[in-house]
Amino acid sequence: MSKTKPIRVEYQTLVIIWFLLLISQVLFLVAVYLLRPALFPFDTSRSFLGDNPYVTIAFAALAFIFFILSFVLGRQHMRRAVQDQDAGCVQTGLVLGCALSEVASIFGMILAILFEHPYFYLWIVLGTLGILLHFPRKGNLDAAMFKAN
């Protein structure tokens, strides 16, 4: 990100990046629907752990770890952006946070496609929630672009 661009343009760029990463969550659902349409009646009569309880537990734990890690690393980049007055760190923090949140959705896709897990959508919901919570804030960009006098 350049210091010569107006903040409005920089912020619009962040929002567009965020929106495209959010749309990828819909594409994950479409991919699962095309590959495993039998999972979409959302059969809740099956056990949450499914046929592979260890895989389900491991994927759930990893999804939560990546979800939390997305906020920790995203905040670190925002703090660094303000400290170094580097608006590029704001964009890096946004992309990193959204990408780490998206890992939970990818675990859901793996559960759906490879293991036919009936509750795969919970992982996709977690990933989507993470991306929604990473919505870019204009205040972060303001703080990173202007030094306090």
97 alpha carbon, distance to own chain's centre: 6
Residue 112 · residue 32 · CB < 8 Å: yes
Q: pLDDT digit string (tens) for 73-126?
A: 999 999 998 898 888 899 999 999 999 999 999 999 999 999 999 899 999 999
| Confidence class for position 4, pLDDT limits 50, 70, 90 | low
Helix (H), strand (E) counts: the chain: 5, 0
DSSP state of 86: -
% of residues, the chain, pLDDT over 70: 95
Residue 10 · residue 87 · CB < 8 Å: yes
Residue 134 · residue 67 · CB < 8 Å: no
pLDDT of residue 72: 96
pLDDT of residue 149: 38
Whether the pLDDT of residue 147 is over 90: the answer is: no
Spatial separation of the C-alpha atoms in residues 48 and 100, rounded to whole Å:
24
Q: Where are the domains of the chain?
A: 7-39+52-145
pTM (2 decimals)? 0.88
The mean of the pLDDT values for the chain is: 90
| Confidence class for position 6, pLDDT limits 50, 70, 90 | confident
Q: pLDDT digit string (tens) for 56-74?
A: 999 999 999 999 999 999 9
Nearest 5 degrees, angle CA 106-CA 110-CA 116? 140
Phi-psi region of 116 (alpha: psi -120 to 50; beta: other; left: phi over 0): left
SS3 of residue 138 by DSSP: helix
Q: How far apart are the first and last CA of the chain?
A: 22
Place of tokens 């994950």: 28
